[in-house]
Structure 1
């Protein structure tokens, strides 16, 4: 890890006289260079330096070069460096560091080689600078040189090497270097924790983290983000609360990770609390934090809050626009998404590939086939964006749900990239929706034959057969599934009450209020029966008795979550549910009716989209 503090250690005494070196003019100019906060001010100081004939002073040259680089003018720093006679190791190191910190790895390596060619021997600070963000292969070569020059024992160099191996995916080499360190600093511990967290080895990361005597905000951020990126948002939020309890002040990086965790969980109350924390602690709501808030609110079901934050963001970039477009899309507000796209393009922002994922998804939710094709073709023709597999997936979903199955199948066959199981599964789902048995069987057999089938493949094929009364086909699919050792992904629904997220599986009885939940469920069934509702038992496996089928539907995870919401919140409160799978037909119909009976708005986020149930209707228009 490169240390700026160590880097500014003065070089060996220059050849100028002692009087010049220690003159008040030099000291004053050095102070002014260090305190410069803008390019304009630094240029004024540079002009004064030239007037005093100190343009070749090694310390002032070094400080100017470093300051230009840190203020974002690497070109000025480089111009100054190239006019310097016989630059010493500190000046070479500064120019290497200036390029490395901006991710210009090839240029940083070039200047390192030039340094060697000019006969200047590097020091450990040079290696620390060079290793910063260096790719794995050149990093290995530098490791060999560090050993040869005796710098491998330096803690900053070793930490930089650990970081290189960690980023390159060579966890074993990183661990070997770390284990060989006689003393582990906070920086080296954080580097190793980052390595483990990045590669999903959170148990090992947690062991190191808990053994740390001192923890700064950086190592807390690494752990929180590790859990968030590994799809463990509950653990991320728990760690964040521990961080606050430990009196460690969060920064922007913390906020971004925790907002992402709230979005994954659909934990709106926690997200709102965090927004208040941000404002009360004067954490700047820049475009990055603002975009994360928009994303969080959209995923937590509060599109109104998302739009309020979006409108507050100054100097919106394309990522901010994308977050709002995707938010409208996932809630099924397709026309709003398209309008926002036009506004974005109208003020000169160029759409990205993510923009088109949002727009094509919006078209899919509304069945806008002609508009979808127009956007899809414009990607390459108008914006020079080559469609990726995600864009093809959006188009297959749009065409398939609209009943254009052969058109969707033809598009899949013409794809330049190999279609993945997700695209085939999307098409198979459309075959189930529209009862196209022949095409459904063809796709399923292809997936099974290529060993690409997952539980969803078998379930969809089984549903196709069940819908047509082909019980022999259903039994055959279930046998294939059992023989393959594939388990159906269990349905899981979550609801946040009083800043705590409660999760339910189908038939779950583990909750402390399980008795009250099932009493409410029985009451719900009475309401439904009184309103003439008949369970849609045709979607349940055929080899169950009719009453067993009804009981199977009654304990679906989303119904348990709704029951808990009804007993845990005040009348009239909106109930928000997050489901890991697509909501089934029966649960969708039941939730519509419950929104009318209870006079409550129920918002449900399933795998495909948001459903807003109000007074017996759903925002999806029964098209999902």
Structure 2
């Protein structure tokens, strides 16, 4: 049908009106001006200016086909009560007039009036008008009216695909995914109509919001079978759906399968990656988008600025700022808000305030960004002041305001503020909002208030993925690893898909607990969820394998990462240090420098640690000198402590003491503690007394230093002094951390304590231990009793160290594993001299490799030797 131009109003065949300059006038509902005379039907020129006022209540509509110059036209014959007037366009203009009024309707009551007039004027069966009205009712969330219109029309007219699509879209946008699916299935049953790309896009969108992942995947199958798999409109909806389900790999498959991508699809991909915390990936995709010449707008830049802000990547953020200025988007409020977040999270709160001042009338979103910026930079008074100003001006704050106000980044010392915000949330009902409750859960976890965090989590009626992540991460950060893993398993049972944050948190828990089987299962999950390109996930995987004792697998994962950042290099260097591979750590550090990645303070800490535990004194000294003079990095107390440890472990105790006295900063517990530990290794009681005096003057509450000093005296057979130190411990009510050892067998963790009798197989374990002792004595083993705590008979001392927890764990491992298989155990304290010797002999007499992780490092025992070279 031809388009008709009326004044400045352009009307297409669906009745959609663009550049509409008409105004609401109730009188126009009752009359319709017909600009053509009766002569115009047989006149090709149609230039008459005559017009007839026709009351709509007096008009009936019918159609006849009239042949006009060999062109088929639909002529509307209008019969009035007293005279018949013919006009080719009168019904069309009647429809267009009503559609213009439908477009201008601003309330539901106006729509209801229009609906009544449509029925009165005989347009209740007009497809275009009914379609437009259905669309409008859906937009006003009056779904029942929209469904009634659809049903009434379908009962008396042939089905129309466009009308189906309009109602499916309406159901989808109103969160009625099941009804949208039902209507889609009804469309398929009829066999007269076939769904098009709009149908699939609307149906897919309905399941993005409803969370029905399995049905969404089935619809994707219909899309492929119907030949719309590469359609850009459907593809955008599918990418959005998979991103909402955190199925990033699936989203990439859809995205890569669309040859011609528009800006909507690119934006959907970028925003989906940001929503799933794949910030570096989102920047890469945005770079590809710009490189291919695809247009972007202020919304795209606002999303990308969120990514660089989360990464605290000031360099790329400033490049995007320049791009915004060049394109003229820097004055858009969304972009300005993104820039405020960027500079705030990069520590430049002054620039953030200047940008905030550029906004003439800041809205709630920009105020939220500034509140969050203040809070992030520990300017809590400023954030609370701005929050109060919003309340004073009657602004209705939202969950984003509360999230920005909560001191997530700097929680320490702000428990009272957090509790006050929590109380405000309870009072206003905002505690039910997932974002607000998640932020509160995060802060309580960081303040080690795990009971409050868990109570808040359990009381949340709508738990988002972020809520689960906050709780799992909180458990992992506070050393409650079994709780973290248990909660993750519960999450899996509920079919909640993890995202990279979930994976990194659970890998951290596996690393702490040393559960290699669980770590491998998570690795398989990473492959399944297509997270192998996420740098943070892979870095956490390197750390997990290293801390679970599998240094070879850690290196394989490290080598698979194509673009390594400084955190990845640090993780692998640290892994080598943990396993006593000092030379490998130095080689890797050199490769890092040649790759162009600049080392950080953490990098130097990892390298110095590796040198210390491998006895590489000169190499460590050179690294320390290079850190200060070549890379202009100011050493922290931890670096100085590492140097003291490096010199002390090598037996250079006087040099270590000299280094402490020559430090440009005041030596603290870290440096004196390192010296005390070296005194234990080399049995120097004089220096130990000096170091302990300094320590106790600074930190009287540290149990570890008292125990260490007591063991030094016991090793020197000065049992009187050892007993005195123990007495001080008792008088101060300071309890020593009980030693325990964990071993994993067939996916289950078994924990042993010293002289443990609680295990169901205790009798068999002790029998196995006695059998081992007999074989080892024959091989020349004798019990080391120098660290026994009291001056008692040698036989009693031998009994005291005989049943240390690591010995029981090793005996159980020998009982439950196949011959020649490796045994891995984890000790929560430093392994003692006797247990170290015991494990060396076990590896020799049983022909087994034994891997022991204690608080200092890994020990790999093989053929009666240890990888540490008795240097730990």
In the superposition, the TM-score normalised over structure 1's length comes to 0.86
Measure how far apart 1:615 and its partner are: 1.1
CA–CA distance in structure 2, aligned partners of residues 67 and 176 of structure 1 = 32
Measure how far apart 1:372 and its partner are: 1.4
SS in 1 for 2:549: coil
Name the residue aligned to 2:393.
149
Judge which range, 219-228 or 94-103, deviates more.
94-103
SS in 1 for 2:851: strand
Name the residue aligned to 1:223.
471
Q: 1:68 to 1:262 in 2, by over 3 A?
A: closer
Name the residue aligned to 1:6.
none
The answer to whether the 8 A contact 1:64-1:77 is kept is no
Alignment of 1:172 with 2:419, yes or no, is yes
Name the residue aligned to 1:268.
516
The answer to whether the 8 A contact 2:741-2:809 is kept is yes
Measure how far apart 1:582 and its partner are: 1.1
Name the residue aligned to 1:52.
none
Matches within 5 A, 1:488-499: 488-499=736-747
2:368 to 123, 128, 139: 128
CA–CA distance in structure 1, aligned partners of residues 703 and 641 of structure 2 = 19
The answer to whether the 8 A contact 2:743-2:826 is kept is yes
1:214 to 451, 458, 462: 462
Name the residue aligned to 2:322.
75
Measure how far apart 1:492 and its partner are: 1.6
Unaligned runs of 5+ in 1: 1-15, 23-30, 48-59, 85-90
1:580-617: CA deviation from partner (whole Å, max 9, x where unpaired):
11111100000000011111100001111110000111
Name the residue aligned to 2:340.
99
CA–CA distance in structure 1, aligned partners of residues 556 and 858 of structure 2 = 19
Matches within 5 A, 1:449-460: 449-452=697-700, 454-460=702-708
The answer to whether the 8 A contact 2:408-2:439 is kept is no
Which protein has the larger Cα radius of gyration, Structure 1 or Structure 2?
A: 2
1:31-81: CA deviation from partner (whole Å, max 9, x where unpaired):
96544444676699898xxxxxxxxxxxx9755764675686232324555
Judge which range, 183-192 or 247-256, deviates more.
183-192
CA–CA distance in structure 2, aligned partners of residues 278 and 404 of structure 1 = 47
CA–CA distance in structure 2, aligned partners of residues 553 and 298 of structure 1 = 29
CA–CA distance in structure 2, aligned partners of residues 565 and 498 of structure 1 = 11
SS in 1 for 2:825: strand
Q: 1:83 to 1:564 in 2, by over 3 A?
A: closer
CA RMSD of aligned residues (A): 2.8
Name the residue aligned to 2:646.
398
Name the residue aligned to 2:687.
439
Alignment of 1:577 with 2:825, yes or no, is yes
Name the residue aligned to 2:571.
323
Alignment of 1:389 with 2:637, yes or no, is yes
Unaligned runs of 5+ in 2: 1-17, 22-102, 104-260, 268-285, 308-316
1:391-430: CA deviation from partner (whole Å, max 9, x where unpaired):
1111111111111111111212233333332321221121
Q: 1:68 to 1:212 in 2, by over 3 A?
A: closer
CA–CA distance in structure 2, aligned partners of residues 100 and 467 of structure 1 = 58
Name the residue aligned to 1:4.
none
Name the residue aligned to 1:367.
615
Measure how far apart 1:384 and its partner are: 0.6
The answer to whether the 8 A contact 2:706-2:726 is kept is yes
The answer to whether the 8 A contact 1:577-1:604 is kept is yes
Q: 1:308 to 1:166 in 2, by over 3 A?
A: closer
Matches within 5 A, 1:398-437: 398-437=646-685
CA–CA distance in structure 2, aligned partners of residues 210 and 269 of structure 1 = 29
1:508-565: CA deviation from partner (whole Å, max 9, x where unpaired):
2233333332222222222223333221122212333322211111111111111221
Measure how far apart 1:113 and its partner are: 2.3
Measure how far apart 1:456 and its partner are: 2.6
Q: 1:418 to 1:231 in 2, by over 3 A?
A: farther
Name the residue aligned to 2:192.
none
SS in 1 for 2:428: coil
Q: 1:512 to 1:505 in 2, by over 3 A?
A: same
Q: 1:614 to 1:80 in 2, by over 3 A?
A: same
Q: 1:33 to 1:308 in 2, by over 3 A?
A: closer
The answer to whether the 8 A contact 1:65-1:81 is kept is no
1:74-97: CA deviation from partner (whole Å, max 9, x where unpaired):
32324555786xxxxxx3354123
SS in 1 for 2:728: helix
The answer to whether the 8 A contact 2:669-2:699 is kept is no
Q: 1:528 to 1:616 in 2, by over 3 A?
A: same
2:428 to 161, 171, 181: 181
Matches within 5 A, 1:277-292: 277-292=525-540
The answer to whether the 8 A contact 2:340-2:355 is kept is no
Aligned length: 577
Name the residue aligned to 1:88.
none
Name the residue aligned to 2:200.
none
Alignment of 1:137 with 2:385, yes or no, is no
SS in 2 for 1:611: strand
Name the residue aligned to 1:338.
586
Q: 1:527 to 1:189 in 2, by over 3 A?
A: same
SS in 1 for 2:861: strand
1:144-202: CA deviation from partner (whole Å, max 9, x where unpaired):
21111222544443343346698573322222222222252222222222222222111
Measure how far apart 1:367 and its partner are: 1.6
1:554 to 778, 802, 805: 802
CA–CA distance in structure 1, aligned partners of residues 713 and 589 of structure 2 = 41
Measure how far apart 1:18 and its partner are: 5.5
Alignment of 1:535 with 2:776, yes or no, is no
Name the residue aligned to 1:593.
841
Q: 1:444 to 1:129 in 2, by over 3 A?
A: closer
Name the residue aligned to 1:307.
555
Name the residue aligned to 1:202.
450
Q: 1:318 to 1:564 in 2, by over 3 A?
A: same
In the superposition, the TM-score normalised over structure 2's length comes to 0.62
1:112 to 350, 356, 376: 356
Q: 1:356 to 1:63 in 2, by over 3 A?
A: closer
CA–CA distance in structure 2, aligned partners of residues 93 and 619 of structure 1 = 57
